[in-house]
Amino acid sequence: MRLPHKAHIAVVDGANFVLMRNEGKPFEPQLKQVAKPELTATNFSAGVKHQDDVGQRKGATDLGELAHAAAATEWLNSKAIAGSIDELLVIADPKTLGEMRRHYHSELEKCVVGEIAKTMTGETTNRIESVIMDA
Domain boundaries, the chain: 8-134
Give the residue from 85, 50, 89, 47 showing the smallest Cα distance to 68. 47
- The arithmetic mean of pLDDT across residues 41-67, rounded, is 61
Provide the pLDDT for residue 7.
98
Provide the pLDDT for residue 55.
52
Distance CA 96, CA 112 (A): 16
Residue 39 has pLDDT above 80, yes or no: yes
2: left (phi over 0), alpha (psi -120 to 50) or beta: beta
Provide the pLDDT for residue 82.
97
Residue 40 has pLDDT above 90, yes or no: no
Distance CA 69, CA 98 (A): 9
Distance CA 46, CA 28 (A): 36
Provide the pLDDT for residue 43.
61
Provide the pLDDT for residue 49.
53
- The arithmetic mean of pLDDT across residues 71-92, rounded, is 97
Distance CA 72, CA 19 (A): 10
- The arithmetic mean of pLDDT across residues 82-108, rounded, is 96
**3-class state of residue 128 by DSSP:** helix
Topology of domain 8-134 in CATH is Nucleotidyltransferase; domain 5 (3.30.420)
- The arithmetic mean of pLDDT across residues 109-120, rounded, is 98
Can you give 5-18 as a three-state secondary structure string?
CCCEEEEECCCCEE
